[in-house]
Amino acid sequence: MSFLHAARLSRRGILAAGAATLGAALLPRHASAQAHTPITTAFGWISNVEYAGFWTALERGYFAEEGIEADYLPGGPNAPDTLVSLSADRSQISGANWLPILDAIAQGNDFVILGAQWQRSPAALMSLAESPVRKPEDLVGKRILAQNPSDKVIIDSILGNAGLPLEYQLIPTGFSPEPLIAGDGDVYFCFATNQPITMEQLGYERDKDFFVTLMDELGYVVKQGLIVAKKSLFQQNRPALVGYLKGLIRGWQYAIDNPGYAPQIVIDKYGADLGLDLDQQKRQMELQIPLIKPKEGGQLLAFDPEIIDGAMTAAATAAGRKVPPLDELVDLQPLGEAHAALS
């Protein structure tokens, strides 16, 4: 996957849709007690192992066991924005990132954050051994390769929080790390589960020839892969929402415990027409597990909402966004109910 879904999800003008009502979308299709509730999930990128927990829950029947008829809208460069799909009721759950969510809410959408796929954001900076970036001080004076002009907000936040001068050059680039190798820049915005694999395939050794430093490690703690729904989903069918989250939790737990499972079903089925490489998908799964798996005592998909009051609000304010009150923006109760039911 390319760095930061926000690069693809920053399109403005997300309007509250007047399409089919969510209530109609969530009513069981049959009157029988055995009928399943349809819930469609919109993804921000192609059908690869990044969404291992969902594919596993779908393939192993975990959603079905919870009374959910699960479907999905794959993402990609030409796919509709996930939050547009959510607003128009083409999906009931969407994966999205921080600033696009705030933009959508500002346009009048009643969205709420239910959890986050990533315990630690995979957003990172990659640098070569000749000029490694391991701490904020290392960024001063650097030429920084970035896909999105708004990434300036991130660098400003890292340097500002560390009390350092905002001295650097932001250079537009694409989604491949070759410009870093060519010397066009000193550091490259990357997705820690993607471009580092490209470097390895090119013969570079991690932590020797190149380094990957998570934004978290630089003090920029912003949750990614946020799980978003309409608030009306709670009113229309809260039990179905909890059931969906139960299935997703079970899917992720199985995928983590059996790391070879999801890459294989992606190659064989869910991403079969995308030309994906099995070894690459296995390596991606290996790299993402430590970023998705909670610390001891933590819960999959959960996070401390108070984190929003820190770097996330600072980043939003710097980017000219308004952050709604926390109790209006985040509701982790359905996720808590799902975990409690599985314990």
Based on the domain organization, do 237 and 108 belong to the same domain?
Answer: yes
**pLDDT at 142 (0 to 100):** 98
| In contact, 227 and 39? CB cutoff 8 Å | no
| Mean pLDDT of the region 67-73 | 98
Span of 53-62, 154-163, 173-182 with lowest mean pLDDT: 154-163
| Mean pLDDT of the region 297-317 | 91
| Mean pLDDT of the region 273-279 | 97
Residue 1 lies in a domain: no
Residue 61 lies in a domain: yes
Residue 85: is its pLDDT beyond 50? yes
Domain that holds residue 130: 123-218
| Mean pLDDT of the region 124-135 | 97
Q: If pLDDT is split at 50, 70 and 90, which confidence band does 300 have?
A: very high
Based on the domain organization, do 155 and 94 belong to the same domain?
Answer: no
**pLDDT at 235 (0 to 100):** 79
Higher pLDDT, 78 or 60: 60
Higher pLDDT, 173 or 1: 173
Residue 14: is its pLDDT beyond 50? no
Residue 16: is its pLDDT beyond 60? no
Based on the domain organization, do 323 and 230 belong to the same domain?
Answer: yes
pLDDT per residue as tens digits for the range 282-296: 999 999 999 999 998
pTM for this predicted structure: 0.88
Looking at every residue in the chain, the average pLDDT score rounds to 90
Distances, alpha carbon 80 to alpha carbons 11, 68, 137, 143, 317, in Å: 10, 24, 39, 33, 27
Higher pLDDT, 167 or 310: 167
Assign residue 104 a region: left if phi > 0, alpha if psi is -120 to 50, beta otherwise?
alpha
| Mean pLDDT of the region 244-267 | 98
Based on the domain organization, do 167 and 301 belong to the same domain?
Answer: no
Based on the domain organization, do 207 and 264 belong to the same domain?
Answer: no
Based on the domain organization, do 20 and 136 belong to the same domain?
Answer: no
Based on the domain organization, do 144 and 203 belong to the same domain?
Answer: yes
**pLDDT at 233 (0 to 100):** 86
| Mean pLDDT of the region 9-13 | 34
**pLDDT at 34 (0 to 100):** 56
| In contact, 271 and 45? CB cutoff 8 Å | no
Give Cα 121 distance to the centre of its chain.
8
Residue 33: is its pLDDT beyond 90? no
Total count of domains within the chain: 2
Residue 67: is its pLDDT beyond 70? yes
Based on the domain organization, do 235 and 330 belong to the same domain?
Answer: yes
| Mean pLDDT of the region 247-273 | 98
pLDDT-above-70 percentage for the chain:
90
**pLDDT at 199 (0 to 100):** 98
The neighbour count for residue 271, using CB atoms within 10 Å, is 20
**pLDDT at 22 (0 to 100):** 37
Residue 40 lies in a domain: yes
According to DSSP, the residues that pair with 41 across neighbouring strands are 72, 93
pLDDT per residue as tens digits for the range 88-113: 999 999 999 999 999 999 999 999 99
Residue 24: is its pLDDT beyond 60? no
For residue 310, what is the domain's CATH number?
3.40.190.10
Residue 221: is its pLDDT beyond 60? yes
Cα angle 256, 260, 262 (rounded to 5 degrees) comes to: 70
